[in-house]
């Protein structure tokens, strides 16, 4: 297909697989998210924990990238990264973030906004040591988000660290660990026909979750 403006404009799907009502959702959005996430896992979707993470610096300049959800509990959503990366610097300057999950096979999307803080060093170390050895070495070797002269630099560093820590436990780098996104706003989106989608939002107000419906 030629990428003409008309062809791009005509790329569309009519969503019909399900509906979403404020009368059916759980009163707790974390439990509602877990239900939808379990549906995605049960449907054997490819990496259902893929999410877009959006941050911004002190000037409000936004940046978005794909990361992986690695934990969910009553406090919020956890991911891991290099604290000295672009996202890490953004979070220091502006500790707010947005997450987006999109499961097209289920015609569902979840949008999350909240405050960001580091998880404990103990939690970060426990997760770090649960990762494959190659991933642990990679976290040590990569100066994430920095300009480098070439891939050879990384490969030499990986080779050096692999030799150095052969047969030993690899220490978690202090510049690597987890972040918790504690939500204040969560939206559940279910695709519907004719673009009249269902949008149910939760806002955390004075210690309680308030549920409303948004126009599509």
Spell out the per-residue pLDDT of the chain, length 216, in tens. 677 766 666 666 767 678 999 999 999 999 999 999 999 999 999 999 999 999 999 999 999 999 999 999 999 999 999 999 999 999 999 999 999 999 999 999 999 999 999 999 999 999 999 999 999 999 999 999 899 999 999 999 999 999 999 999 999 999 999 999 999 999 999 999 998 999 999 999 999 999 999 999
Among all chains, which residue has been given the structure tokens 């919020």? 76
Q: What is the pLDDT of residue 1?
A: 65
Report d(CA 181, CA 116) in Å as an integer.
5
- pLDDT the model gives residue 10: 66
The pLDDT of residue 52 is: 98
pLDDT at 188: 98
Tokens 């896992």 sit at which residue? 41
Q: If DSSP codes are grouped into helix, strand and coil, which group holds residue 194?
A: helix
Q: What's the pLDDT score for residue 11?
A: 62
Residue 9 confidence (pLDDT): 66
What the block records as the tokens of 94 is: 């502006």
Burial of 77 (0-12, 13-18, 19+ CB in 10 A): buried
Q: How many CB atoms lie within 10 A of CB 191?
A: 22
Query: Residue 34, Cβ neighbours under 10 Å: how many?
Result: 14
pLDDT at residue 82 in the model? 97
- How does DSSP classify residue 18? -
Residues assigned a catalytic role: 195
Compute the distance between CA of residue 142 and CA of residue 136 in angstroms, rounded to an integer: 10
Res 21: pLDDT: 93
CB atoms under 10 Å from CB of 99, counted, come to 21
């Amino acid at each position: 297909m030629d990428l003409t403006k008309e062809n791009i404009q005509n790329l569309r799907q009519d969503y019909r697989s399900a509906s979403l009502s404020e009368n059916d959702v759980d009163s707790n959005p974390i439990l509602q998210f877990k239900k939808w996430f379990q549906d995605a896992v049960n449907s054997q979707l490819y990496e259902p924990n893929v999410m877009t993470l959006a941050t911004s610096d002190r000037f409000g300049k936004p940046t978005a990238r794909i990361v992986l959800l690695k934990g969910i509990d009553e406090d919020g959503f956890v991911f891991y990264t290099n604290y000295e990366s672009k996202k890490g610097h953004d979070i220091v300057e502006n500790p707010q973030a947005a997450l987006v999950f999109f499961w097209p096979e289920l015609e569902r999307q979840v949008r999350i906004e909240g405050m960001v803080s580091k998880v404990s060093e103990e939690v970060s170390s426990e997760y770090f040591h649960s990762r494959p050895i190659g991933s642990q070495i990679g976290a040590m070797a990569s100066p994430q988000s920095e300009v480098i002269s070439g891939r050879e630099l990384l490969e030499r560093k990986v080779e050096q660290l692999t030799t150095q820590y052969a047969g030993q436990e690899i220490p978690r780098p202090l510049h690597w660990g987890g972040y918790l996104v504690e939500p204040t706003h969560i939206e559940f989106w279910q695709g519907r026909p004719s673009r009249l989608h269902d949008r149910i939002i939760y806002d955390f107000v004075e210690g309680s979750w308030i549920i409303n419906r948004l126009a599509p």
